[in-house]
Amino acid sequence: MSENEQLRSASEPPPPGTRTMSIVRWIMLVALIVLAVGAALWYFHVGPFHTVTQEAGVLYHCPMHPQIIRDRPGTCPICGMTLVPFKPVTEGAPPPAPGTTPAAPGPSPTPLPPATSMLSGHSEVYLEPQRVQMIGVRTGRAEKKTLAGEISTIGIVTVDESRLTMIHTKTTGYVDRLLVSRVGDPVRRGQIVAKFYSLELIAAQEDFLAALKNVHALSGVEGADTADIVASARRRLELLGVTKSDIDRIESTKQVQRTIDLVSPVSGVVITRDVLEGHEVGPGTTLMTIGDLSHLWAVLDLYQSDVDRVRPGQKVSLTLPAMPGRVFATTVDYIYPLMDTQTRTAKVRVLLPNSGGKIMPGMYGDARIEVAPREVLTVPFNALLDNGNEQYVFMVSGPGHFMPMAVKVGVRTPDTVEILSGLNAGDEVVTSANFLIDAESRMLAAAQSQTAGVAPPAEHAGHAGH
């Protein structure tokens, strides 16, 4: 190719669209630069750096543990939840009470000072009407009521302990035969319950027969005191537990009895049987226990708050599910001086006649103790909060205002609680959602202590930098 032809080919125009693509590339480059600058401005002015510089007066607390309060973001040292911001003074404090003149615009108002009767460690809570409705707050009134003239409780039928008799021997030997061997068997007074064999008893019988023989031998000797010898030998057999009928049999037959009879001194039923035939027994061994079931006890449970209202002699009506339709009328016989540490109840004993023998020990029943009625101040049972150390309620001190009030309580029933002090008749108290209000009250009290310069609790002081 000649030089002229080469110059003509080099001066040919570029392909169509090249200039347009170049302009588009420059426009895209400028747009990316603008976006990068905007992102940088947002990052430095409204991004995470802005969240570090919080508004004055904002603190952070744990939603699950309101007592954990910090002056910067972090996590709860107890449960690990993220701390959330709140304004303890301007948002949590209650507004001025109804009827007062609003304060002039300016700094946030100081929270209302706590009342002298308000519970320590808590703060008065104010909730907006819509929030009160949202959490389901319900209220009731402290009212004067007449406490019922009876106490309802439950009781267990037991054996009369004063009518229990133990059968035992007065010397060492062996149970040769048991004539009453089953628990629950009826026993009559004087009935033979066992045959007893003892070497000591055999020796005592021989001495008695020897004394009788000497009486006949010395009957003609002047001055011989044979009566005392026989009486002494007979007395020894009696002290060893030999019955009069056995002694008379020995005297009439002039024979030593291999076994003697053990008889029941009372009528009743066998409550326990502790030996078998062939057992070796001694003076401290109980062969069986016999109980007279013609008279029983019913032992009733009383709560601590009811003990002071019960006195011996008060009328008691007892009903047993095993005997529907029958009401047993009796009286309080004894109030036990000890409290049951397991059930936290006191025991009251009443007498229960059982002439027909239909009532069985171990039955349970419902009892009503007649007591003097009295007028007391009560609140609904659900209004009371009890943490084990103190009892309190939340009193409505104004629209949306809830004040924690320490109270002293008396008798508790499933529906009401007696208030001995802390409230007056007509006071309105919270009966529903009071646990939520309680958490809010504790949180506000902790926040106010923090803003007042009170150090955090000692157990969490080491986490103040979180």
Pairwise CA distance, residues 355 & 269, whole Å: 14
According to the model, what pLDDT value does residue 45 have? 44
Domains of the chain: residue spans and CATH: 125-145+376-463 (2.40.420.20), 150-160+292-372 (2.40.30.170), 170-284 (no CATH)
**Per-residue pLDDT averaged across 16-33, rounded?**
75
According to the model, what pLDDT value does residue 4 have? 55
Q: What is the pLDDT of residues 152-178, one digit of tens each?
A: 899 999 999 999 999 989 999 999 999
Of 69-73, 132-136, 222-226, 289-293, where does the model show the most confidence? Answer: 289-293
Q: Is the pLDDT of residue 53 over 60?
A: no
Backbone CA torsion sign across 236, 238, 240, 244: positive
Q: Is the pLDDT of residue 47 over 50?
A: no
Q: Is the pLDDT of residue 141 over 70?
A: yes
- Contact by Cβ (8 Å): 287, 174: no
Q: What angle do CA 173, 175, 179 make, to 5 degrees?
A: 150
Of 72-81, 96-105, 293-302, 441-450, which range is least confident?
A: 96-105
- pLDDT confidence of 115, banded at 50, 70, 90? very low
Percent above pLDDT 90 for the chain: 38
Q: What is the pLDDT of residues 246-302, one digit of tens each?
A: 898 888 888 998 998 999 999 999 999 999 999 999 988 999 999 999 999 999 999
Q: Is the pLDDT of residue 13 over 50?
A: yes
Percent above pLDDT 70 for the chain: 77
Q: Is the pLDDT of residue 361 over 80?
A: yes
Pairwise CA distance, residues 189 & 153, whole Å: 37
Q: Which residue has the higher pLDDT, 457 or 87?
A: 87
Pairwise CA distance, residues 385 & 444, whole Å: 18
According to the model, what pLDDT value does residue 363 have? 94
Secondary structure (DSSP) of 435-459: HHHHHHHHHHHHHHHHHTTPPPPGG
Strand partners, 187: 268
Q: What is the pLDDT of residues 307-339, one digit of tens each?
A: 888 999 999 999 999 999 899 999 999 999 999
Q: What is the 3 state secondary structure string of 69-105? A: EECCCCECCCCCCECEEECCCCCCCCCCCCCCCCCCC
According to the model, what pLDDT value does residue 66 have? 67
One-letter amino acid identity for 262? L
Alpha helix locations (H) across 178-243? 199-217, 226-239
SS3 state at 162: helix
Pairwise CA distance, residues 201 & 153, whole Å: 54
According to the model, what pLDDT value does residue 415 have? 85
